[in-house]
Amino acid sequence: MNFPFKKLGLALTFSPTGLALLIEAKRLKELFNSELVLIHSGKKDDEAEKKLYEMINNSGLEKSATEIIWGYGSPASAILKAAESANIDLLIAGALEKEPVLKYYLGSVARKIMREASSSVLILKSPSENASDFKKFCVSTDYSQESEAVIKFTYQFALMEKANEIIVLRDIYTPGLSSAAIESGAPTNSDEVISTYQIEEEEKLNMFVNELNLKGIQVVIKCLYGREGWVEGNFVRKNNIDLFVVNGRAKKFYFLDKLFPNELEFFIKNLPSNLLILR
C-alpha cells in the first residue's frame, strides 16, 4: 500500500454524477498533492472530447495539466486495464448504493472494479459538487498485520483531513457460541454469554489499538456481534460514517461469493457509505 497516494485515477463517465466525481477527485488530488488521470471508456471523437473538456473546465482543473486515457472494449475491463498500465495507486469511481438483483448478478462496472482492481479503490456513494472533507472514519480490523497496516493508513488519512474521529470495528460473530457455553455447564443465558464475550473482546481490541499510539485524533473502539459483514455495514450506515476503510483481500471473486457473501463481498453488494478498499 502506497500512502499518500501519488497517482489517482478517476473512472469518468458522462453520467449525471460525472462532474461531482471530478470535483471530488480534484479535492483528493490537492489533498495528497498527487497526479490525477482521467479514464474514460468510450470512443474518442470531437463530441466526446468536447464534453470531457467542458467537465474539466467546470471542475476547476487545468485542461493542459490533465491527462486523459481513452479506454476501449467493455467499460470495466477498459478501466482496469488503463489503471494498471498507468500505475494508478488509487482508482476512484461512483456507484449506486444497491443495484437491482439481475444487474448485480450479471455484474456492473463499479462492482467489477471493486473486485478486480490491483490498486486501492475508492467508491463514492453520493458524490457532490460541493465536495467536503471526510470527518468520520471507520475501519474494520481482525488483529492481523495487514489489518494493523490498514488502521495506520486510515489514521494518516484522517489526520490529513483533520477528521473528528476514527472508529475501529471488530466483528466477533461466532456461530454456536451461546450453545457451546451452556453445554459446557456455564449457568447463564445466551445474552449474558454474548455480553461477556463482547466485553473481553473490547479489552483485547483496546490493547491492540493503544499499542498503535494513534495521537491527535479521537479513536473509538467497537466490538459488534452479528452476521459477518451485515453487522458492520449496518453500523456504518446508521452512524453516518463518511468513509469506511477495509482491507482488500488478495483473491479472485467467484459466482459463489455472490451467493454466499464474504465480508468484502457484502460491502460491495450493500454499499454502506463511501468505501475505501486498500490493496
What would the pLDDT profile of 78-121 be if each residue is shown by its tens digit? 999 999 999 999 999 997 555 555 454 445 788 889 889 999 99
Between 80 and 248, the more confident residue is 80
CA-nearest of 17, 28, 69, 86 to 243 is 28
CA-nearest of 232, 241, 233, 246 to 276 is 246
| Bridge partners, residue 74, by sequence | none
The length of the chain is: 279
Give the number of other Cβ atoms within 10 Å of residue 242's Cβ: 18
What the chain holds in terms of domains, given with CATH numbers, is 1-130 (3.40.50.620), 133-264 (3.40.50.620)
Query: Which residue's C-alpha cell is 497516494?
Result: 5
Residue 23 CA, distance from chain mean position: 18
CA-nearest of 199, 90, 208, 189 to 139 is 208
What would the pLDDT profile of 5-59 be if each residue is shown by its tens digit? 999 999 998 888 999 999 999 999 999 999 999 999 888 999 999 999 999 999 9
The three three-digit cell numbers of residue 121, written as one number:
479503490
